[in-house]
């Protein structure tokens, strides 16, 4: 019984961390990845590395 009570907190916190990872961490990482590409409206995105940051 102590085992279940002690580990129940993981089951209760898991949905929060899944939500946090899916709606905050994943978009943050995708935005970081996209910042290394030159995106055109029509056509393919080309890798430009740090040039986007040098322009700023």
**Tens digit of pLDDT for each residue in 42-54?**
888 899 988 888 8
DSSP of 14-52, one letter per residue?
HHHHHHHIIIIIHHHHHHHHHTTEE--SSS--EE-TTHH
Q: For residue 52, list its beta bridge partners.
A: none
In the prediction, which pLDDT does 43 show?
A: 82
In the prediction, which pLDDT does 3 show?
A: 66
Handedness of CA 16, 18, 19, 21 (dihedral sign): positive
What does pTM read for this prediction? 0.68
Mean pLDDT across the chain:
88
Contact between 48 and 38 (Cβ < 8 Å): yes
**Tens digit of pLDDT for each residue in 7-19?**
888 999 999 999 9
């Amino acid at each position: 019984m102590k085992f279940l009570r002690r580990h129940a907190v993981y089951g209760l916190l898991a949905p929060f961390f899944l939500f946090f990872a899916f709606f905050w961490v994943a978009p943050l990482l995708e935005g970081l990845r996209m910042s290394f590409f030159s995106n055109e409206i029509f056509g393919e995105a080309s890798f430009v590395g740090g040039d986007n940051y040098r322009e700023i």
